[in-house]
Amino acid sequence: MADMNWDLTDYFPEFNGPEMVAFKATIESDLADLLQKATGLSVLDVDNQTDWEDVFVRYEDLMTRVGHIGSYVGCLTSVDANNEEYSKLEADLSRLGAEVSKLSVELLRALKDATDDVFGQFVGRAALGDAAYALGRMRRDAQFTMDALREGLAADLGVDGIHAWGRLYDTLSGKLEFDMVHPDGKTEKLPMSQRRSLMEKSDRAVRQTAFESGNEAWAGVADVTASALNAIAGTRLTLNGYRGVDHFLDVACFQAAITQKTLGAMLEAIHSEIELGRRILRLKADVMGRDTVAWYDLNAPLPLADDEPLGWQAGKDLVHDSFSRSYPKLGDFVQQMYDDNWVEWAPRAGKRPGAFCTGSKRIKQSRIFMTYNNTIGDVITLAHEAGHAFHSYILREKRSFASRYPMTLAESASTFGEMILMEGIMENPEVSDKQKALTLDMEVGHGAAYLMDIPARFEFEKAFYQARQKGELSVSEIKDLMVETQRHIFGDVLEEGSEDPYFWASKLHFYITGVTFYNYPYTFGFLLSRGLFALFQKEGPDFLPRYEDFLRLTGSDTCENVVKQSIGQDLEKPDFWVQAIRGMEVPLGQLEDILPRVLNNNG
Ligand SMILES: [Zn+2]
């Protein structure tokens, strides 16, 4: 087995050992049995509830076991991406996943045509009580489907239709090149995938040419990308009609477990507080000695090098000490994680990039994957992933059906962890001003992305779908819509004429065919946890039990109800969101204060 920091023996004593082999074989045979039983049952009714209860309860247990081995192999392949034995197990599990989907189809069939009375009785059974919310969601999901024949046809045609447009976009953007003119005059053909990092360079001229020459390339393929965008939206709108979905945002809101009213309240608050987001960009302009920013300045770094390396021990301590100082229970939790070796952190060959938190409800444990390169950003990643692990810890006694939460609630505990760390860093006399500035810049930079960039994407997409209901849009109509939205959100802080008219073409997110309105849940999650943090700052430690109630309920109800029941706030009103956004004033004020000092010392 490859070298790794984390201890995985609680999953299985050894890879491909007798325990693991038997475990996998039992899942396979149980799944086959269960599929056979479910297929033989008619729609849920008064007289077959005991049988269906058995199917649902065993399905839940099976999912827990599949999740256990899935998490295990996920850990292994991330550390050693080229190991063929691991890849083989991964392929076996994806075949298993296809069988699980067949079983899910049977569960949806059971619920779809069950009457309200029968369903009410069913979820009232003792063995299913706290699964009522999850089953209700499955039922609603099933009700927004066409009959089996039409759904089957739509799925088959989707391969050559909507998904083919998505694949065409992937191929096109993967092959697209642009002529990059370097400051020394040298011109080079570069793949589009390199443009993003060039637009994050400190040299403004580099960012500008990358932006302009990149957009020339996008202009050359705009007819194709516009066709893809029109076709993807058109297919969704047509299917919505057949499935009885009234509004294109209903699907997105259902997936996010929120109402359209909540989404509206959040956006209303973003607009009423839009000056705060613009102030962040004004500070950025200021550092560059300008009044406004251009589109290609949005990801410009501070002129500060992250060159004060923080060793692993120092990084670990910083997270632990910051957590312990304001939230002792979280501090103890992270210490336990260190002691039990739950974190894979060392840089090594063959390791995948990125970071994640995974876990198993079977052993009630989590594991954190990351690569620690001694930067303050890595310390923040550790706090972020530790927040996810804490969320699972709080949910550990909940059944699997009551532990699945939507994307809108998924980032609350992680962002909360980040904010506690940042507060700890700011109060820590051993952290240099420069590192404090880098930390604040990261936090404030997130603010700009979540308050300006993502709302602009959402507003563009919403307007596009609105217009698309009446017919296809031309390239110039889409460009105009994009520029209009950017002007509306960014206002006068964005230099006139420096918008990005091809943003819709270059952004992959608009072409992900599996998820509709992919972007806004990030803003939702960010602001929700800022709102929680604002309450914590106001109420102190008394707030923490209610915060834990919030985490404990995340798989048991809609976002609105979870928040109402745990912390007594109303997400359908803008007030909560306004407070959350105003919380950004603190780090922004600190950054405005500290920047002139560190920039002067930097020469
Ligand atoms: Zn996360």
The answer to whether the CB of 562 falls within 8 A of the CB of 553 is yes
Check residue 129 and give its pLDDT. Answer: 83
**Cα of 358 from ligand 1 centre, angstroms:** 11
| CA gap 101, 108 in Å, rounded | 11
DSSP calls for 338-366: HHTT-EE----TTPPSS-EEEEETTTTEE
- This prediction has a pTM of 0.91
What residue type is assigned to position 56 of the chain?
F
**Cα of 410 from ligand 1 centre, angstroms:** 7
**Cα of 527 from ligand 1 centre, angstroms:** 14
Where would I find the beta strands (DSSP E) of 5-111? none
**Cα of 572 from ligand 1 centre, angstroms:** 25
**Cα of 188 from ligand 1 centre, angstroms:** 36
**528: exposed, middle or buried (Cβ count in 10 Å: 0-12, 13-18, 19+):** buried
| CA gap 230, 474 in Å, rounded | 9
Which of helix, strand or coil describes residue 164?
Answer: helix
* Mean pLDDT, rounded, for 567-590: 96
The answer to whether the CB of 49 falls within 8 A of the CB of 57 is no
**Cα of 222 from ligand 1 centre, angstroms:** 33
Check residue 149 and give its pLDDT. Answer: 87
Check residue 1 and give its pLDDT. Answer: 58
* Mean pLDDT, rounded, for 547-565: 97
Q: Quick check: 454 pLDDT over 50?
A: yes
| CA gap 53, 127 in Å, rounded | 8
Domain definitions of the chain by residue range: 18-143, 179-220, 309-401+411-431
Check residue 304 and give its pLDDT. Answer: 84
Which of helix, strand or coil describes residue 572?
Answer: coil
CA-based nearest residue to 64, from 392, 454, 387: 392
**Cα of 269 from ligand 1 centre, angstroms:** 24
Strand (E) or helix (H) holding 29: helix 18-39
Q: Among 153-157, 334-338, 415-419, 448-452, which stretch is predicted with the lowest mean pLDDT? A: 153-157
**Cα of 228 from ligand 1 centre, angstroms:** 30
Q: Quick check: 2 pLDDT over 80?
A: no
* Mean pLDDT, rounded, for 27-51: 96
For residue 602, what pLDDT band results from cuts at 50, 70 and 90?
low
Q: If you average pLDDT over every residue of the chain, what do you get? A: 94
Q: Are strands 356-360 and 343-344 parallel, antiparallel or unpaired?
A: unpaired
CATH topology of domain 18-143: Butyryl-CoA Dehydrogenase, subunit A; domain 3 (1.20.140)
Q: Quick check: 294 pLDDT over 90?
A: yes
The answer to whether the CB of 419 falls within 8 A of the CB of 533 is yes
**Cα of 511 from ligand 1 centre, angstroms:** 22
* Mean pLDDT, rounded, for 208-216: 95
| Residues in CB range of 510: below 8 A, 6 or more apart | 229, 232, 457, 461, 504, 518
pLDDT above 70: percentage of residues in the chain: 99
pLDDT tens, residue by residue, 559-572: 999 999 999 999 99
**Cα of 62 from ligand 1 centre, angstroms:** 26
pLDDT tens, residue by residue, 168-184: 999 999 899 999 988 88
**392: exposed, middle or buried (Cβ count in 10 Å: 0-12, 13-18, 19+):** buried
**Cα of 411 from ligand 1 centre, angstroms:** 5
**Cα of 379 from ligand 1 centre, angstroms:** 14
Which of helix, strand or coil describes residue 469?
Answer: coil
**Cα of 426 from ligand 1 centre, angstroms:** 22
User: Which residues make beta-bridge pairs with 356?
Assistant: 369
**Cα of 316 from ligand 1 centre, angstroms:** 18
**Cα of 356 from ligand 1 centre, angstroms:** 7
**Cα of 387 from ligand 1 centre, angstroms:** 8
Check residue 360 and give its pLDDT. Answer: 98
CA-based nearest residue to 382, from 440, 335, 430: 335
| Residues in CB range of 307: below 8 A, 6 or more apart | none
pLDDT tens, residue by residue, 302-348: 888 777 889 999 999 999 999 999 999 999 999 999 999 999 999 99
The answer to whether the CB of 239 falls within 8 A of the CB of 477 is no
Strand (E) or helix (H) holding 137: helix 132-143
The answer to whether the CB of 563 falls within 8 A of the CB of 251 is no
Question: What is the DSSP-derived secondary structure letter of residue 400?
Answer: G
* The two three-digit tokens of residue 269, written as one number: 């608050």
pLDDT tens, residue by residue, 381-431: 999 999 999 999 999 999 999 999 998 999 999 999 999 999 999 999 999
Check residue 441 and give its pLDDT. Answer: 92
**Cα of 384 from ligand 1 centre, angstroms:** 6
User: Would you say how long the chain is, in residues?
Assistant: 603
**Cα of 77 from ligand 1 centre, angstroms:** 20
**Cα of 377 from ligand 1 centre, angstroms:** 14
Check residue 504 and give its pLDDT. Answer: 97
* Mean pLDDT, rounded, for 40-49: 96
For residue 152, what pLDDT band results from cuts at 50, 70 and 90?
confident
**Cα of 446 from ligand 1 centre, angstroms:** 13
* Mean pLDDT, rounded, for 187-201: 92
Check residue 603 and give its pLDDT. Answer: 46
Q: How far is CA 242 from the centre of its chain?
A: 29
**Cα of 518 from ligand 1 centre, angstroms:** 15
Q: Quick check: 467 pLDDT over 50?
A: yes
**463: exposed, middle or buried (Cβ count in 10 Å: 0-12, 13-18, 19+):** middle
**Cα of 110 from ligand 1 centre, angstroms:** 34
pLDDT above 90: percentage of residues in the chain: 84
**Cα of 47 from ligand 1 centre, angstroms:** 44
